[in-house]
């Protein structure tokens, strides 16, 4: 059974010849009784306050409030807004506050496809939905034509309504902040994001989460709005933005060539194109060659570090764009530190073999690992000049797990963690 029940009365057309209040009250009471066993949240969604009498010009009967009806409605959350996007987003916030995921939507049959289209944009696969036709007896509902499909223009209109509403929301937890490195010259736009200044409201995703997946509650529309705000602040085009498709490996996509199914590195020499590596304990790394005017990014977790994703990205730049090792600048973004990151001893031994200083308490069952130090060692072994590697100073070397006010962290927050990024582009 559903944990939350949503009853759609949005734009409900009622038959003015019938007793609206009593008939609808019976319908709502039947819904409440049927789902009372498990449901923790009942909600009615409507486009205006339940207070007006029937408007004969609009042929649309709205509910006038009697004492009996008002008392009954106290068991329901009433969400009233002219915008369907705003109404559903408010309801989603309530559902997320209660950590619910199983939702029943009771909707007039002619609005079912429309409701599903909005839900597809605002919810992720974390949630499960069941749909039930709104059954109202005694001819209360006027007959309406069922919508069998949403056309492309209608879907675009829905997306526009959602985007407009999300753009109106205030930034949460402070202003959007970008960490930059003085090593990278101004011909590049680059930076590393923190967790502030976006609109994501779920505690572990709040507020500038920049990645959506089937396992998280942040939909793509919210992440895209966070990205739009980042792009406006940093000065790049959100329409020309590409993230790594992580597999915790060492595959690198050289833009302009065939795109692999998964890759943890990207390189490009195209102006105006922004590339980004994800990070939430793993290291987001940016690479810049101001001589050949090429750049790259890499997502380096502990597996990718050992597989050599950082040097794989460097090698792609040297082979594709003719970059010289002495010209490539590498900046390591914020990541989990050796204070918080452990591995089983069998996995830790590979880091110990690379260099003993990469591991603390090696004789323990779960030694502490310094993936940043391991990355620097591998870069230097590969020919990158030590002075062209920045992994300290400013906020770059802060442990993501130790600083919840600044960064997202999978180690700290569990599976529903948010994501920050490292990004770079060659200015147009």
What pLDDT, on the 0 to 100 scale, is given for residue 15?
56
Helix residue ranges per DSSP H, 235-359: 302-307, 309-321, 345-354
Confidence of residue 13 (pLDDT cuts 50, 70, 90): low
End-to-end CA distance of the chain: 55
The CA dihedral of 17, 21, 27, 29, to the nearest 10 degrees, is: -170
Helix residue ranges per DSSP H, 36-83: 67-73
Q: What is the token pair recorded at 75?
A: 């068991």
Which of 231, 186, 240 has the alpha carbon at shortest distance from 208?
231
Identify the DSSP state of 335: B
Using DSSP's 3-state secondary structure scheme, residue 353 falls into helix
* Per-residue exposure over 390-413, b if at least 16 CB sit within 10 Å of its own CB, e if not: bbeeeebebbbbebeebbbbbbbb
Q: What is the token pair recorded at 24?
A: 């609808």
Say which residue, 139 or 329, is predicted with more confidence.
Answer: 329
Contact yes or no for 159/121 (Cβ under 8 A): yes
Which of 208, 275, 281 has the alpha carbon at shortest distance from 237?
275
Separation CA 298–CA 423 (nearest Å): 10
Confidence of residue 146 (pLDDT cuts 50, 70, 90): low
Contact yes or no for 422/276 (Cβ under 8 A): yes
Contact yes or no for 263/309 (Cβ under 8 A): no
CA distances from 406 to 20, 194, 197 (A): 53, 6, 11
Confidence of residue 191 (pLDDT cuts 50, 70, 90): very high
Peptide bond into 137 cis (omega under 30): no
Does the pLDDT of residue 134 top 90, yes or no?
no
362-409 per-position pLDDT tens digit: 999 999 999 999 999 999 999 999 999 999 877 888 999 999 999 999
Radius of gyration of the chain (CA): 27
Average pLDDT over residues 323-340: 98
- Environment class of residue 417 by beta-carbon count within 10 Å: exposed (0-12), middle (13-18) or buried (19+)? buried
159-179 per-position pLDDT tens digit: 999 999 999 999 999 999 999
Which of 95, 157, 395, 410 has the alpha carbon at shortest distance from 282?
410
Identify the DSSP state of 358: G
The percent of residues in the chain predicted with pLDDT above 70, rounded, is 89
The CA dihedral of 211, 215, 219, 220, to the nearest 10 degrees, is: 40
Separation CA 98–CA 204 (nearest Å): 15
- Look up the pTM and report it: 0.92
DSSP 143-160: P--------HHHHHHHHH
Phi, psi (deg, nearest 5) at residue 58: -90, -10
39-96 per-position pLDDT tens digit: 999 999 987 544 333 333 333 444 445 566 666 678 899 998 889 999 999 999 999 9
Separation CA 395–CA 403 (nearest Å): 10
Contact yes or no for 354/378 (Cβ under 8 A): yes
């Amino acid at each position: 059974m559903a944990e939350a029940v949503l009853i759609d009365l949005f734009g409900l057309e009622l038959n003015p010849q019938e007793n609206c209040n009593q008939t609808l009250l019976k319908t709502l009471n039947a819904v409440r009784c049927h789902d009372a066993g498990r449901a923790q949240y009942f909600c009615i969604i409507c486009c205006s306050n339940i207070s007006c009498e029937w408007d004969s010009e609009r042929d649309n009967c709205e509910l006038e409030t009697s004492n009996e009806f008002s008392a009954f409605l106290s068991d329901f959350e009433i969400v009233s807004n002219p915008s369907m996007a705003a109404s559903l987003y408010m309801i989603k916030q309530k559902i997320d506050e209660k950590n619910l995921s199983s939702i029943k939507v009771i909707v007039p049959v002619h609005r079912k496809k429309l409701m599903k289209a909005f839900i597809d944009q605002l919810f992720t696969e974390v949630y499960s939905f069941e749909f039930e036709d709104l059954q109202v007896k005694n001819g209360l509902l006027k007959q309406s034509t069922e919508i069998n499909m949403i056309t492309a223009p209608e879907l675009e209109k829905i997306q526009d309504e959602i985007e407009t509403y999300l753009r109106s929301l205030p930034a949460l937890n402070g202003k959007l902040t970008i960490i930059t490195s003085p090593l990278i010259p101004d011909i590049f736009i680059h930076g590393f994001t923190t967790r502030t200044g976006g609109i994501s409201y779920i505690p572990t995703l709040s507020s500038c989460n920049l990645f959506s997946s089937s396992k998280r509650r942040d939909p793509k529309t919210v992440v895209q709005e966070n990205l739009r705000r980042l792009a406006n602040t940093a000065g790049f085009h959100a329409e020309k933005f590409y993230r790594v498709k992580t597999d915790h490996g060492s595959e690198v996509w050289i833009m302009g060539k065939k795109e692999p199914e998964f890759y943890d590195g990207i390189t490009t020499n195209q102006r105006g194109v922004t590339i980004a590596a994800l990070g939430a304990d793993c290291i987001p790394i940016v690479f810049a060659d101001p001589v050949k005017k090429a750049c790259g990014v890499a997502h380096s977790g502990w597996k990718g570090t050992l597989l050599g994703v950082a040097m794989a990205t460097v090698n792609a730049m040297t082979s594709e764009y003719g970059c010289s090792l002495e010209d490539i600048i590498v900046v390591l973004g914020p990541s989990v530190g050796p204070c918080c990151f452990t591995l089983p001893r069998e996995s830790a031994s590979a880091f110990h073999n690379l260099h003993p200083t990469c591991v603390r308490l090696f004789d323990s069952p779960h030694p502490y690992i310094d993936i940043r130090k391991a990355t620097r060692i591998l870069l230097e072994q590969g020919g990158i000049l030590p002075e062209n590697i920045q992994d300290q100073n400013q906020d770059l070397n802060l442990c993501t797990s130790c600083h919840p006010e600044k960064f997202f962290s999978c180690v700290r927050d569990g599976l529903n963690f948010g994501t920050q990024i490292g990004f770079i582009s060659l200015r147009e």
